[in-house]
Amino acid sequence: MITIPIIIPYYYESAPVDTINNLLKSFEQQSFKDFEVILIHDGMNPDKPRLVLDYPYDITYTCTDDRYDDWGHSLRDMGIKKAKGQYLMFLNCDNIIYSNCLEELEDRITSPSKILPNYGDFKWDSKDIIIYPILLKGQTPNGITVLRDETLVDEVDCILTGYPVKVDCIDCMQLVMKRARWDYYGGWYDKAFAADGNMYPRFVQENLGAVYTRDILGEHR
């Protein structure tokens, strides 16, 4: 059985407590139930009394002693060390995953590999990394980059496939990688603003690729 920890860093001034509570409550709708949520706040949280943490799934909540203020990267690294499952997912507070997301990921992880014919002895199995498409809400491509208009968040969508794996083409939430691979790389080692865009291409290249889901499984708002 595959267990998928969901690691969520946040800071109360950038994520209202209602946003966090709504995100946590949404996980109750997941059709795949073998997951845990690791919620880590960056420093002291004055909103903690209004945080709802009573859910029918496994959830742990931590406040750091110090404020790191590094876009949540140190908190993600802490989450990797705390996680007990085999594959790790990273969400931000403005992300949501659809109710079938974890089930689709588990299916991709556990389904037999499909090898193209006529490749001789070459066996391609990249199940250490799963990538899934999402919708970027309020964003649209102009042929060169992605433009964002927060006033259109409920009207305009841009499909982000996660391919190719490079900066501006894949979001932090889209790559789900085996815990053993995170340990191999020393955790969330990059603390730059675009850390995921720096690390993810390396992971996929050195892993000889990744497995992609067919369906859009979440949103970045």
- What distance in Å separates the CA atoms of residue 151 and residue 109, rounded to the nearest whole number? 37
Tokens at 194, concatenated: 């675009």
Residue 159 phi, psi dihedral angles, 5° rounding:
-80, 120
Q: What is the pLDDT, as a whole number, of residue 127?
A: 83
The reported pTM is 0.89
Dihedral of alpha carbons 189, 68, 219, 38, sign: positive
Amino acid type, 168: D
Burial category of 21 from C-beta neighbours within 10 Å (exposed 0-12, middle 13-18, buried 19 and up) = middle
pLDDT tens-digit map of 174-218: 999 999 999 999 999 999 999 999 999 999 999 888 999 989 999
Which residues contact residue 200 at a Cβ distance below 8 angstroms, ignoring those fewer than 6 apart? Answer: 165, 170, 175
Q: 3-state SS of the chain: helix, strand, coil percent to 5?
A: 25, 25, 50
DSSP, collapsed to helix, strand or coil, labels residue 174 as: helix
Q: Closest Cα partner for 169 from 148, 130, 125, 200?
A: 200
Quick one: tokens of 216?
Answer: 């859009």
Cis, bond preceding 56 (omega within 30 deg of 0): no
Best CA proximity match to 134, nearest among 81, 92, 74: 92
Owner of token pair 């795949």: 32
What is the DSSP-derived secondary structure letter of residue 96? E
Residue-level pLDDT at 144? 46
Query: Which parts of the chain sit beneath pLDDT 70?
Result: 1, 113-126, 138-156
Degrees, nearest 5: CA angle 207-108-180? 45
Of 89, 100, 65, 93, the C-alpha closest to 173 is: 89
Would you state the structure tokens that stand for residue 98, as one six-digit string? 């659809």
* pLDDT on residue 152: 52
- 142-161: pLDDT as tens digits: 544 555 556 555 656 788 89
